[in-house]
Structure 1
Amino acid sequence: MSKRTVADVMTREVVTARPDTGYADLVRLMADNSVSALPVTGVDGTVVGVVSEADLLAKESARADGRPHSLVALLRRHHDRDRAAAAVAAGLMSTPAVTTTPRTRVNEAARTMAEHRVKRLPVVEGGVLVGVVSRADLLGVFLRGDDEIAAEIRRDVFERSLDTPAERVRVAVADGHVVLDGEVERRSWVRVAAELAERVDGVVSVMNRLSWSWDDTGVTIPEAMAVDIRHEPRP
Structure 2
Amino acid sequence: MHGTPHIVSDVMTHTVAAIGSGATFKEIVRLMQDWKVSALPAIEGEGRVIGVVSEADLLPKEEFRDSDPDRYTQLRRLSDLSKAGAVTAKELMTSPALTVHPDTTLAQAARTMARAKVKRLPVVDAVGLLEGVVSRADLLKVFLRADEEIAEEVRREIVSYLFPPPNSNVRTEVRDGVVRLVGRVRDTSLVPVAARLVRAVEGVVDVEFDLTRHGNPTDAPAGVTENEPRGTASP
TM-score, normalized by the shorter chain, greater than 0.5: yes
Letter in 2 for 1:50: V
Deviation at 1:156, TM superposition (A): 2.1
Letter in 2 for 1:119: K
Is this contact kept in 2: 1:39–1:51, CA < 8 A? yes
The more displaced of 93-102 and 170-179 is 170-179
- Counterpart CA distance in 1 for 2:69 and 2:88 is 27
Q: Which residue of 2 aligns with 1:230?
A: none
1:48/1:155 CA distance change after superposition, 3 Å: same
- Counterpart CA distance in 1 for 2:112 and 2:180 is 27
Is this contact kept in 1: 2:185–2:213, CA < 8 A? yes
Is this contact kept in 1: 2:185–2:212, CA < 8 A? yes
Q: Which residue of 1 aligns with 2:7?
A: 5
1:206/1:76 CA distance change after superposition, 3 Å: farther
Deviation at 1:5, TM superposition (A): 1.1
Q: Which residue of 1 aligns with 2:38?
A: 36
**Secondary structure at the residue paired with 1:164?**
coil
Deviation at 1:44, TM superposition (A): 4.2
Q: Which residue of 2 aligns with 1:222?
A: none
Is this contact kept in 1: 2:22–2:88, CA < 8 A? yes
- Counterpart CA distance in 1 for 2:114 and 2:176 is 21
- Counterpart CA distance in 2 for 1:192 and 1:43 is 50
1:29-79 Cα shifts (integer Å, max 9, x gaps):
11222222111112142221111112111211122547579x6x5545332
Q: CA RMSD in A?
A: 3.0
- Counterpart CA distance in 1 for 2:121 and 2:63 is 25
- Structure 2: segments with no counterpart, 5+ residues: 216-235
Is this contact kept in 2: 1:158–1:165, CA < 8 A? no
- Structure 1: segments with no counterpart, 5+ residues: 215-235
Is this contact kept in 1: 2:7–2:102, CA < 8 A? yes
Q: Which residue of 2 aligns with 1:147?
A: 148
Alignment TM-score, normalising by the size of structure 1: 0.76
The more displaced of 28-37 and 172-181 is 172-181
Letter in 2 for 1:42: E
**Secondary structure at the residue paired with 2:152?**
helix
Letter in 1 for 2:40: L
Letter in 1 for 2:102: P
- Counterpart CA distance in 2 for 1:68 and 1:188 is 63
- Counterpart CA distance in 1 for 2:43 and 2:31 is 15
- Counterpart CA distance in 2 for 1:121 and 1:209 is 41
1:80/1:184 CA distance change after superposition, 3 Å: same
Letter in 2 for 1:134: S
Q: Which residue of 2 aligns with 1:77?
A: 77
1:68/1:115 CA distance change after superposition, 3 Å: farther
Residue identity (%): 48
- Counterpart CA distance in 2 for 1:65 and 1:35 is 28
1:113/1:68 CA distance change after superposition, 3 Å: farther
Is this contact kept in 1: 2:186–2:213, CA < 8 A? yes
Deviation at 1:208, TM superposition (A): 5.5
Map 1:16-165 onto structure 2 (within 5 A).
16-63=18-65, 65=67, 74-126=74-126, 127-159=128-160, 161-162=161-162, 164-165=164-165
1:199/1:89 CA distance change after superposition, 3 Å: same
1:64/1:202 CA distance change after superposition, 3 Å: farther
Deviation at 1:142, TM superposition (A): 0.8
- Counterpart CA distance in 2 for 1:67 and 1:5 is 45
The more displaced of 199-208 and 54-63 is 199-208
Is this contact kept in 1: 2:163–2:170, CA < 8 A? no
